[in-house]
Amino acid sequence: MSLNIAIIGAGSVYTPEIIEGFANSREKLPVSKLTIMDINPKRLDIMFDFLNRYKKFHGLEFEIVKTTDLVEAVKGQDFVLTQIRVGGNQARINDEKIPLKYGVIGQETTGPGGYMKALRTIPAILEIAKAVEKYNPEAWLINYANPTGILAEAVRNYTNTKFIALCAGGMRPRTWVDWALGVDYKDVKYDFVGLNHMNFAYNIRVNGRKITKEEFDKVADIHETVEPTLIKELNALPSLYCQYYFHRNKKFNELNEAQNTRGEIVLNLEKEIYEALSDPNQHDKPEILKNRGGGGYSELALDALSAIYNDEDMWIVANVKNERAIEFLPYDASVETPCVLNQNGITPLVQNNIPEGVYGLVSGVKNYESLVVKAAVEGDYGKALLAMVAHPLVGDYDIAKPMLDEMLLANKEYIHPKLIETLEQKELVHK
C-alpha cells in the first residue's frame, strides 16, 4: 500500500523539512504522491521546482503535484498537513508592534499577537477542515500551524474531521532531560498539564523511574527562558513561552527596545531563503534555512503519521479535546496533554497530582482562548472584547478596548466581517 499526502501552505520554508522526513522514514511511510497547495502561486512554483530537485537529492521517486485549489488538494489524500500563516509575516509584524504601543507584550503566539493570529487563522483552518470533512472524510488532518491549541478547539467543536494538532514544544522537555542527565530522550516520559505554549511537565520519568529532586534541579538549571529558582519551586518544567508571563516586564522591555521585531527579521530572511531555493543548482537545503528557526515540527508530524499508518501505539503530547484529562478545565476545551495515538485515533491520558502553582494561570489563558474561538466563528465583538480583557497579559479594559479596535482594523481583510461591521457601527454611534 502507498500513501497520498497533501501539504496545505506548502509555500512555507518549512516544507523541505517534511521531504527530508520522508527520506528518513521511507520504510515506514511509502509515499507515492505528494500534493502541495498554496494560495501564493509564486512561492508554490518556487517550492515545486526545488522539491523536485530535493527529492532526487534524497533518492525519492514519488510524484509531486501542485495546486492552488483546496478541494483538489484534499481529495484522495490519506493525510493532509496544514502549515498556514494567514496574512504572512507582515500581519505578524502588526501583531508584534501594535501591543507595544499600549504597554503590552507583542509576540507571535502569546498575548494580543497570538490572539489576532487566532482570529485570522480560525476561519481558514475551518475552511480546510470542512473541505476534508466533505470531500475526503476518511483522511486525517494534521495541523501544526499556530496557535495550534486554539485552532484545535475550533476544529474539534465545529467539525467532525479526524484531526490532530501538534507542537514540538510539548516534546521538548524530553530533550532538556537528555541534555541535563545524558539519557536517551526517547526513554523520557512525564505528566503534562496546560495548553499550547502555556504548559508544565512534571512527574518526569526515565525508563519508568521517577527522577530525583537533585536530577530535576539539574534539568531546571538548563532551562532557556524561565528563572530556575521558580522552576524548582513549581517542581514542573514550564514551556519556553512561559517567560512572557513569569518575566513580563523584562520581556516587554526587551521587545520594546529591540531595533526590529522577530517578524521583521524573518520577513527579510525569507527573501534570501526563497532566492536560494529558486537557484536551479540548489539541490540540498540551503544553509541559510538554518537561520529560520522553529524546526522539529515535521519530525513529530511524520512520527504521528507513522503511528496511524502502521497502527503503532505512540506516546505523544498533543492538543486534544480535554474530556476528563485535566480536571479543572472544561470538558470541551482544547488542552495540551500526553496521549496515546494509533490507527484508532488519539486518546488523552488523565493527569493527576497537578502542581498547585499552575492552576490560575492555565485557567485564565484557557478562558481567553475559548472566548477567542467563539468570537472568530460567530463574529461576536462582545466576546472578542471579553477575550482581550480576560487575557492575563492584558486584564485592563482601558487598554484592551483601543488595542483590540486598532488590531481588528489592521486585520479586517482576514477576520469575520461582523467584527468590523460592529466596530464601525460603534464608532458611528460614538461620533
Mean pLDDT across the stretch 243-248? 98
| pLDDT category of residue 431 using cuts at 50, 70 and 90 | very low
Whether 241 is a known active-site residue: answer yes
Q: Which domains does the chain have, with CATH numbers?
A: 3-166 (3.40.50.720)
Distance of CA 267 to the CA centre of its chain: 19
| pLDDT category of residue 430 using cuts at 50, 70 and 90 | low
pTM of the model: 0.95
As a whole number of angstroms, the distance between CA 156 and CA 141 comes to 11
Of 70-84, 106-120, 126-140, 282-296, which gets the smallest average pLDDT? Answer: 282-296
CA-nearest of 149, 126, 150, 130 to 139 is 130
Residue located via cell numbers 532566492: 275
| Alpha helices, DSSP H, located in 235-358 | 243-246, 248-257, 262-278, 297-309
Mean pLDDT across the stretch 79-90? 96
Catalytic-labelled residue, pool 14, 54, 102, 241: 241
Residue 184 pLDDT more than 90?
yes
Phi, psi dihedrals of residue 302, rounded to the nearest 5° = -75, -30
